[in-house]
């Protein structure tokens, strides 16, 4: 009974968790930035207009949003029941990798560096490798057809809200968690092996400071219609507007801007596209059939229908919301 209560309440507690993008402070910072963007575009501060947009029932009660919420609860349950017991703590993986290096390479050389210097180096290396790993997985999710059949569940959103970040197929959720476990284990294990007790990342509210700052500086606007471009800085950092182009169904935006933070990876892959001036975009998966965005895209329709039955199958099958 306690487990069931935990599964149902955990997603509701996301605004209290500073390690998650929906943390209340990140939502407030995104709201303030959105207000500034709209004010600058309209060249005046219209409180009535902004409040009408913020509390628009057409936006928040859009059919697409309910799939976002449903997948948030589903994936949270699967993660709690399956992934956490299987993977355990990320620190276990880091210690295991550090022990592996010690066993096969022997003692690490004596490297100079204060606790602060090692902490800064660890924080930077971890953030860069984390960002690169996200880019590589995201790139593969688009470029390999069998992986795209899972990832298009995310792209099937026809209305973008901060909750859309959780609109992912369970298989993709597993892949991203395995990626995170691997990156943390390798980077942290390597630093533990090289620097022993001097490894201490720089945190804000218990979260690595660079990840915290990334979420604080408008990450929630990536999945909104608020057009925030970084201008020339987009040569270095991916803006929310660039990610909105990534979700666009227009041919010229297809397979562009895979990156999360750094633009370098997209530039190397030839997929970088600047946001430019404001554009009205249409989101979704162009020309997709409902079968292509189902929870079980690789199983035969007849077998799935037989297994789940009518109503349950129709809900699972329809992960692409109609506009």
Span 123-180, pLDDT tens digits? 999 999 999 999 999 999 999 999 999 999 999 999 999 999 999 999 999 999 999 9
Token pair belonging to 184:
């943390």
E-strand ranges in the chain read: 203-204, 207-208
Section 242-258 average pLDDT: 96
What is the CA angle 61-62-67, rounded to 5? Answer: 100
DSSP character at residue 224: S
Predicted confidence at residue 296, as pLDDT, reads: 52
Whether residue 246 is contained in a domain is answered as yes
What is the CA angle 50-51-55, rounded to 5? Answer: 120
b/e map of 260-295 (b: 16 or more CB within 10 Å)?
A: bbbbbbbeeeebbbbbeeeeebebbbeeeeeebbbb
pLDDT band at 288 (very low <50, low <70, confident <90, very high): low
Residue 201 pLDDT greater than 90, yes or no: no
Residue 64 pLDDT greater than 60, yes or no: yes
Section 38-47 average pLDDT: 94
Q: How far apart (Å, rounded) are the C-alpha atoms in residues 61 and 70?
A: 14
Whether residue 293 is contained in a domain is answered as yes
pLDDT band at 313 (very low <50, low <70, confident <90, very high): very low
Predicted confidence at residue 295, as pLDDT, reads: 54
Whole-number Cα distances in Å, 29 to 55, 59, 217, 237: 17, 20, 7, 18
Whether residue 6 is contained in a domain is answered as no
258: nearest Cα among 166, 150, 137, 158: 137
Which residues span the domain enclosing 92?
A: 17-317
Whether residue 167 is contained in a domain is answered as yes
Predicted confidence at residue 217, as pLDDT, reads: 94
Whether residue 90 is contained in a domain is answered as yes
Token pair belonging to 77:
């349950």
* Count of structural domains, the chain: 1
């Amino acid at each position: 009974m306690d487990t069931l209560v935990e599964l149902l309440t955990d997603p509701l507690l996301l605004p209290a968790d500073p390690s998650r993008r929906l943390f209340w402070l990140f939502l407030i910072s995104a709201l303030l930035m959105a207000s500034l963007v709209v004010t600058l575009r309209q060249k005046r501060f219209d409180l009535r207009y902004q409040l009408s947009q913020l509390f628009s029932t057409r936006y928040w009660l859009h059919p697409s949003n309910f799939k976002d919420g449903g997948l948030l609860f589903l994936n949270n349950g699967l993660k709690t029941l399956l992934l956490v017991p299987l993977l355990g703590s990320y620190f276990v993986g880091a210690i295991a990798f550090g022990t592996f290096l010690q066993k096969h390479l022997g003692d690490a050389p004596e490297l100079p560096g204060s606790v602060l210097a090692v902490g800064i180096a660890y924080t930077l290396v971890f953030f860069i490798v984390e960002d690169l790993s996200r880019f590589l997985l995201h790139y593969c999710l688009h470029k390999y057809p069998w992986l795209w059949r899972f990832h298009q569940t995310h792209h099937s959103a026809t209305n973008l809200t901060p909750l859309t970040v959780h609109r992912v197929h369970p298989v993709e959720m597993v892949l991203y968690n395995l990626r995170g476990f691997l990156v943390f284990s390798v980077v942290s294990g390597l630093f533990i092996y090289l620097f022993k007790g001097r490894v201490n990342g720089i945190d804000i509210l218990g979260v690595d400071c660079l990840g915290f700052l990334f979420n604080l500086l408008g990450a929630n606007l990536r999945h909104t219609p608020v057009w925030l471009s970084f201008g020339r800085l987009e040569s270095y950092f991916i803006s929310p507007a660039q990610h909105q182009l990534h979700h666009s169904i227009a041919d010229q935006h297809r397979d562009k801007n895979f990156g999360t933070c750094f633009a370098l990876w997209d530039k190397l892959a030839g997929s970088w596209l600047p946001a430019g001036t404001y554009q009205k975009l249409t989101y979704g998966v162009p020309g997709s059939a409902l079968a292509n965005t189902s929870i079980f895209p690789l199983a035969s329709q007849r077998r799935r229908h037989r297994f789940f039955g009518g109503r349950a199958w129709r809900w699972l099958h329809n992960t692409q919301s109609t506009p």
